[in-house]
Amino acid sequence: MKMDRVYYIISEILGIPLDEINNGIEWDSLTHLHLILALEAEFGVSLPPEDIMTMLSVQQIQIILRKHGVEV
Amino acid sequence: MNTILSYLSSAREIENSPPEGLIPVNVAFLSTLTADLIHPYLVVEGVKRGMFLRAYFSPFNQLEQQIFDKSSSLYKFKPDVVIIATYTEKFDSMRLGRLITELKQSTTATILVFNHTGLAAALTNERLTKACQQFEGTYIFDYAQLVYNFGFYYWYDPKLWYLGRIPFGANAQRELGQQLARYIHALHFPPHKCLVLDLDGTLWGGVLGEEDGIELGEDYPGNVYKDFQRRLLALSNQGVLLAIASKNNEADTISTLQNNPDCILRPRNFAVIKINWQDKATNLRAIARELNISLDALAFFDDNPVEREWVRSQLPEVAVIEVPESPLAYIRALEESELFDQLVISEEDRGRTRLYQDEQERKQLQTISIEEFIQQLDMMVTVGFVNSETLPRVVQLLSKTNQFNLTTHRYTSSEVQSMIKSGAVALWIRVADRFGDLGLVGVAIAIPERPGRWIIDTFLLSCRVIGRYVETALLNILSQVVHDRGGQVLLGRYIPTPKNTPASKVYSDHGFEAVGEFWKWDFSKGKIPPPKFLRVRFENG
């Protein structure tokens, strides 16, 4: 369920329909910060810069969120 | 609800199909910090206030590069507002002065300058303020106060600062976007003119005339009300008229206002006082009528939700402030109503309550013929050219005069200056009579359209002086100046609005001929004659 929420957030922040979100999708650095802040607010976590800099794909986002205890 | 998501998606929707009827404003950011993240907040908060804000963020730390290069993307963007946001103690007022001087030569945009946070910034901020005061249409954006209001640890997210030189966290981005939208709103919309107040439960606790007496003093809860009164007095000093609409016994109430040692507001601080048992909508209508302002210039503050609902239902034009149950939150409710935001405060604003009280005394003379009345007033009008000293008040009149305003053109100070630079004649008029000085109350701007042919672009008078032949004096001098500059015809136009019928007959009353949508004065008839009962002085030069 929570991962559906991750897809939903990525889709809303990028302005791309949910079913078009896949692991190859990219975004610019400004959108990246909006996305990180939205994920932090959504899951109540605070992500360190080292992790933020690696969260550049849907899969990486999932991995890092799991590392911070977000259930998937 | 995830705030970031909702702002981002709303902003995208707005930009894809902007709602109708919004004022478009182009906002350019020049900064030594990264401000881009506030973009969605600015767009959404702008729409809430009737504006479509389009933002341009210049590349990081490119102030001089953008301002001195006339072909830069800053100027291509055609900004209406330029925001200079810096984040360093080294940003001094000398550098700011050079940047603004250069900006002013290439754009008529209004300029907002961020001040700096922290105790060490006090001196810098004072200098930045002074530097801004040297220029028309240039204001400090009080960033320091904003950060103070929310607290630094709420505001700042170190990771955003070190990753991207962004000095505000997720929550702060929304607050900043909102506050900027508020400033930009204040540049484009006039403040409400009059705040109508209730007494019991509003200016003091308890009920006047009941045994326990009222709560007003140095200890809780009286100190809460006393401080609220102090805040209202400050508002009055900014030029907002205060009025009372209260269901009470008039004699007891006036005596409390006059004699209670803890009462900060005295009868003289109120432009109109209505203490009676009539319903409040009736009293609000009477207040608007006596002050000669429209109902939508009134705001209403009453602790009783029933009264608020009644006024809302009867007078939808009046801004009814949502008063919180606890008086502890009154000051904040007043502040967050945003109804009295204004960025310049003129000398006339400071003395406004007294001006309106004089007006009431003047009206008591009015049982004789209008000519006799005007003769008895012993009026003296002075006309002069708009210059840097009179410009703030002139721009204020341009932005808020609705009734006696022939074209209702709204201009910023920079726009007026550039009109004058390109040859326009811009005049102000002051009026004094035996009751006192009414201040600067009118503006006329005429533009040379082609040799010999001049257009009256703007002609307006404050409603305080309607019906006193002041417009005749202003037309007289305007025609004289235009004629001296080679004018052969002077053309005027009346553009009707829902409010400006009082001005509809100016040109026909003064012998202009109707030519299509224009009214024409031909100088073969000489200049427009001066008024009979007024002494007119022209400060030429």
Domain that holds residue B124: 3-188
Residue B345 lies in a domain: no
Residue B356 lies in a domain: no
Question: B483: number of CA atoms within 13 Å, CB side?
Answer: 14
Locate B299 and state its tokens: 């705001």
- B297 and B375 inside one domain: no
Residue B352 lies in a domain: no
Whether A3 and chain B come into contact, CB under 8 Å, resolves to no
- B306 and B450 inside one domain: no
Check pLDDT > 70 for residue A72.
Answer: no
Last residue of a domain, one of B286, B318, B336: B336
* Residue partners of B326: CB distance under 8 A and separation at least 6: none
pLDDT at B363: 65
Question: B342: number of CA atoms within 13 Å, CB side?
Answer: 22
Q: Which CATH number fits domain A2-67: 3.30.410.40, 2.50.20.10, 3.20.20.70, 1.10.1200.10?
A: 1.10.1200.10
Residue B355 lies in a domain: no
CA distance B437 to B429: 12
B270-275 and B138-141 strand pairing:
unpaired
Kindly report the backbone phi and psi dihedral angles of residue B382, in degrees, each rounded to the nearest multiple of 5, phi listed first: -125, 135
Contacts across the A-B interface (CB distance below 8 Å): 43
- B162 and B263 inside one domain: no
Q: Which residues does chain A have within 8 Å of residue B1's beta carbon, measured at their own beta carbons?
A: none
Locate B445 and state its tokens: 């701007």
Per residue of chain B (541 residues), give pLDDT as tens.
Answer: 789 999 999 999 999 999 999 999 999 999 999 999 999 999 999 999 999 999 999 988 899 999 999 999 999 999 999 999 998 767 788 889 999 999 999 999 999 999 999 878 888 899 899 999 888 899 999 999 999 999 999 999 999 999 999 999 999 999 999 999 999 999 999 999 999 999 999 999 998 877 678 999 999 999 999 999 999 999 999 899 999 999 888 888 999 999 998 999 999 999 999 999 889 999 999 999 999 999 999 999 999 988 999 999 899 999 999 999 999 999 999 999 999 998 876 666 667 777 777 776 666 655 556 677 777 778 899 999 999 889 999 999 998 888 899 999 999 999 999 999 999 999 999 999 877 788 899 999 999 999 899 999 999 998 778 778 899 999 999 999 999 999 999 999 999 988 888 899 999 999 999 999 999 999 998 999 999 888 999 998 6
Name the minimum distance, in Å, from the CA of A45 to any CA of chain B.
Answer: 13
- B401 and B273 inside one domain: no
Instruction: For the beta carbon of residue B99, count every other beta carbon within 10 angstroms.
Output: 22
- B238 and B153 inside one domain: no
Residue B117 lies in a domain: yes
The CATH number for B505's domain is 3.40.630.30
- B25 and B140 inside one domain: yes
**A5 vs B373, which has greater pLDDT?**
A5
Delimit the domains of chain A by residue range.
2-67
Whether A42 and chain B come into contact, CB under 8 Å, resolves to yes
Q: Which residues does chain B have within 8 Å of residue A13's beta carbon, measured at their own beta carbons?
A: 4-5, 8
Residue B361 near residue B435 (C-beta atoms within 8 A)? yes
Evaluate if pTM is beyond 0.80: no
pLDDT at B368: 58
Name the minimum distance, in Å, from the CA of A17 to any CA of chain B.
Answer: 12
pLDDT at B89: 66
Grouping H, G, I as helix, E, B as strand and the rest as coil, residue B11 is helix
Whether B278 and chain A come into contact, CB under 8 Å, resolves to no
CA distance B84 to B114: 6
Residue B438 lies in a domain: yes
The CATH number for B181's domain is 3.40.50.1110
pLDDT at B101: 94
- Which residues of chain B from 152 to 181 reach within 8 Å of chain A, CB to CB? 159-160, 162-164, 166, 169-170
- B158 and B224 inside one domain: no
Cross-strand partners of B197: B244, B301
Separation in Å, CA B513 to CA B40, B355, B451, B473, B503: 52, 36, 20, 19, 16
pLDDT at B118: 83
Q: Which residues does chain A have within 8 Å of residue B15's beta carbon, measured at their own beta carbons?
A: none
Q: For the sheet with B23-31, list strands across it.
A: B51-57, B23-31, B81-85, B110-114, B138-141
- B204 and B289 inside one domain: yes
- B179 and B219 inside one domain: no
Whether B515 and chain A come into contact, CB under 8 Å, resolves to no
Count of structural domains, chain B = 3
pLDDT at B88: 74
Residue B388 lies in a domain: yes
DSSP label at B112?
E
The CATH number for B257's domain is 3.40.50.1000
CA distance B94 to B108: 21
